[in-house]
Structure 1
């Protein structure tokens, strides 16, 4: 087993180029033999952050889908916002469905029928897009579970669709030898403001707003579980852990992924969760992993995810970004525009060139239809991946990620937005695992016949791989490519053939 261990602390004082070269060689090491993980830092840190299959996979797909998809308005935070007095969502809700005391969030569940959900077809769609792993938002902040749960009575098998959404999809994915991911967002679901009156109007550490007069303050024993309104927060924390463990025991996901606010769950429960997941991996002879946001889990045994963001430069250990195909929304919202396929591909190439992995979100309608607009984008991505996949899967970052004028910042929302403007002057690199090829991506459409001075990798900059270049090819074309490496620069002439509309890729064959 090859895993990645975080070397950040040992490398932070070195310059980035030096950091990458110094850390890369020590980032993939054999895992120590562990028969059983214990819920403590010393034991869990032996697991490492990411298996090699994850670093090689490059692309996964997940989806925001649940009862909140029924109104198809606002955002996936509709369940919260509908209870906020004067909010846009509440005004919409009361005009279309009635007063919140008469039509609460739970009333959407029978309307969430998912009658067109076809797990086999979805798995085929995700695979044809080029994804190597996929899965659902297992539970969003709203408290509704998308699996057959004996812990959470508010689940898709017993209510709404009356189907095991997660289980059926996992089965279809496994038939195709795809890895599985279950994402959890329910740390926010616990009600933490019931005894803090000053937080009743502005409480942000719980998903549902609390006020004694709101339906979310219900004493009904069943409804309380939907709204996370337990007698004590300790009781909720156990409920949180029991649900995650149930999914691990029943479905054995390869990846457990957590949204922000996991820090609201005490460290004890988080360590118990991690140990249980890792031990289940041992039991099933699987290389499993965790992904998280912010500083909610240690990097020694978890991969850091940047929401709609990323890094300015390459990083020695694999990292992740979750981006949505919608211009900004994560769930299906009526009339909301989508990003274009060229922007999505170029964003992803930027991530891959910096040692990142992409988790792409799609947005099904409440009836289980993934609409044609999204399917068209996914097909364009898939068609591009079929031609250029060798430049993506299993590749490593180059000494430099590339160069250009497109601006991308560090952290969340730091570069994978709908406003990034990539041009032909933005170039990215990857290296094949066997170091016999370097791939050069143009994130715009180069002009035929143009001679490009690639000084960033040629001449005295010495960023061309150590092995001499023996040939240059244009992926997807038989056109002859003219190139020249001098003491001053590297020159590449665009062949007289159509360039790819999404991203043009050249393969430098190395000796």
Structure 2
């Protein structure tokens, strides 16, 4: 904020508080096919996102070391290497990218086994390297200089989409709006100053028009040549019309903000003509092209009034790092339960390595999540939020169809199932039957004032429940 105020004081471009909105209202979709798809998407609940590119060879943060901003996630290695020397080395990673162990069928089976119902795959990140066979640039996985281009499975995006689709998993395409490799975004005539376009759009409008067309053409390729795609997940929220900026997005500009309008109305119309009902997620650009919102690496404190999805890493990094530490399964399942109880979806990230494989921990983690989901999935899929959402260690969900409600008790690591579970805030009618998913016994319960107290018999408690136990009410 200090930098923004200083810029205004120097006579540079300023925004009123009305222009720099804190949180614009959610704009509901009007297309009936998209509304239907959003309803289906809210039934899926659990998905996977994968960040993968040439950067996996160095085990570094995806793309961001190219950005000339001085932030913790933009640092270059080795420290002190001159910027343009580093860029040259980074772009040369394409010449050695050869993930010989690439086996998307194994990934898809693991995702299916974990109970994931949709995928969002990085077709292109901010560095501009395309993991698909685009005709718009030579900076792509199928280019002759890339060793993997000789592999019959070189069109990685197509192979991934096909493998996951064959497992019944819905397909989403991640696409970065900024492209730090193309001359029409970062023009080599000028040095980049931050993550934004590095020339004055008003002075060079034809160059920006070429970038708009480049973006349109690439998205058209993805919507035309890669089978059924149900989500277009657009990242790089600083690429946006000038009048849509928020205080947060203005903080991403070291130079005065520009009108980086890429013609979302035209892109969306084209994409939906080719993929009817397509969900479009123009991340952080609140308006008609943000069909759902995507809090990153965090879970909202309370339910939100619009469709939303928490995107989060399974380990510590979005991209592959050699010794990444994965979150405990107990934590991941508790996150899932908490998110679903608040009406959201959980999009969990895995970063493949330079050989085309995941960490072993990714597979074992997903196996354990899958074991829990096989027993308790009915309390997750096809549910909606119900007040009070959560009371202590108990979260609530309700089936969209039917009258069943679930009280999901979250177990601490190595905690044994208690003899009683109680909660407040959710009235239960006299005579309502209760049972534990994964156990056959009916449960006895009583109302104690505004509290419901459920007794768990010894036959249930001796079973090896882990992570959380779901009690079906009704």
TM-score normalised by structure 2 residue count: 0.77
**Aligned CA distance change for structure 1 residues 347 and 370 (closer, same or farther; 3 Å):** same
**Aligned CA distance change for structure 1 residues 92 and 253 (closer, same or farther; 3 Å):** farther
Aligned residue number for residue 58 of structure 1: 45
Contact 1:261–1:296 (CA<8 Å) still a contact in 2? no
Contact 1:188–1:205 (CA<8 Å) still a contact in 2? no
Aligned residue number for residue 277 of structure 1: 271
Matching of residue 183 in structure 1 with residue 183 in structure 2: no
**Aligned CA distance change for structure 1 residues 279 and 103 (closer, same or farther; 3 Å):** closer
Matches within 5 A, 1:95-106: 100=85, 103-106=88-91
Contact 1:447–1:494 (CA<8 Å) still a contact in 2? no
TM-superposed CA distance for 1:456, in Å, is 2.5
Distance 2:81 2:188 in 1: 28
Aligned residue number for residue 453 of structure 1: 422
Matches within 5 A, 1:42-53: 47-48=34-35, 50-53=37-40
SS in 2 for 1:108: helix
TM-superposed CA distance for 1:490, in Å, is 0.8
Matches within 5 A, 1:9-24: none
**Structure 1 unaligned spans of 5+:** 1-22, 34-46, 212-228, 405-425
Aligned residue number for residue 501 of structure 1: 466
Aligned residue number for residue 395 of structure 2: 428
Q: Deviations over 1:38-67 (max 9, x none)?
A: xxxxxxxxx548532211111111211110
TM-superposed CA distance for 1:143, in Å, is 0.2
**Structure 2 unaligned spans of 5+:** 1-25, 242-259
Distance 2:80 2:158 in 1: 32
Q: Deviations over 1:447-500 (max 9, x none)?
A: 54443431222xxxx4x4xx6553211111234533112443211234431463
Distance 1:102 1:238 in 2: 25
Matches within 5 A, 1:136-175: 136-158=121-143, 159-162=146-149, 163-175=154-166
Aligned residue number for residue 72 of structure 1: 59
TM-superposed CA distance for 1:110, in Å, is 2.3
Distance 1:367 1:187 in 2: 27
TM-superposed CA distance for 1:312, in Å, is 2.2
SS in 2 for 1:89: coil
Distance 1:182 1:308 in 2: 20
**Aligned CA distance change for structure 1 residues 369 and 388 (closer, same or farther; 3 Å):** same
Matching of residue 292 in structure 1 with residue 261 in structure 2: no
Matching of residue 488 in structure 1 with residue 450 in structure 2: yes
Distance 1:303 1:85 in 2: 28
Contact 2:69–2:193 (CA<8 Å) still a contact in 1? no
Contact 1:453–1:489 (CA<8 Å) still a contact in 2? yes
**Aligned CA distance change for structure 1 residues 305 and 396 (closer, same or farther; 3 Å):** same
Distance 2:138 2:192 in 1: 28
1:125 to 102, 110, 116: 110
Distance 1:294 1:196 in 2: 30
Distance 1:380 1:351 in 2: 19
Moved over 6 A (4+): 82-87
TM-superposed CA distance for 1:440, in Å, is 1.0
Matches within 5 A, 1:5-404: 32=32, 47-48=34-35, 50-73=37-60, 75-80=61-66, 88-91=75-78, 100=85, 103-158=88-143, 159-162=146-149, 163-187=154-178, 189=180, 202-206=193-197, 232-251=207-226, 252-261=228-237, 263-264=239-240, 266-267=260-261, 269-282=263-276, 287-298=277-288, 302-327=291-316, 329-404=317-392
**Aligned CA distance change for structure 1 residues 448 and 183 (closer, same or farther; 3 Å):** closer
Distance 2:97 2:54 in 1: 5
Aligned residue number for residue 42 of structure 1: none
Q: How many residues align?
A: 411
SS in 2 for 1:51: helix
TM-superposed CA distance for 1:81, in Å, is 5.5
Contact 2:177–2:236 (CA<8 Å) still a contact in 1? no
TM-score normalised by structure 1 residue count: 0.72
**Aligned CA distance change for structure 1 residues 236 and 381 (closer, same or farther; 3 Å):** same
Deviates more, 1:231-240 or 1:247-256: 231-240
Matching of residue 437 in structure 1 with residue 400 in structure 2: no
Contact 1:182–1:257 (CA<8 Å) still a contact in 2? yes
Distance 2:90 2:68 in 1: 8
TM-superposed CA distance for 1:181, in Å, is 0.7
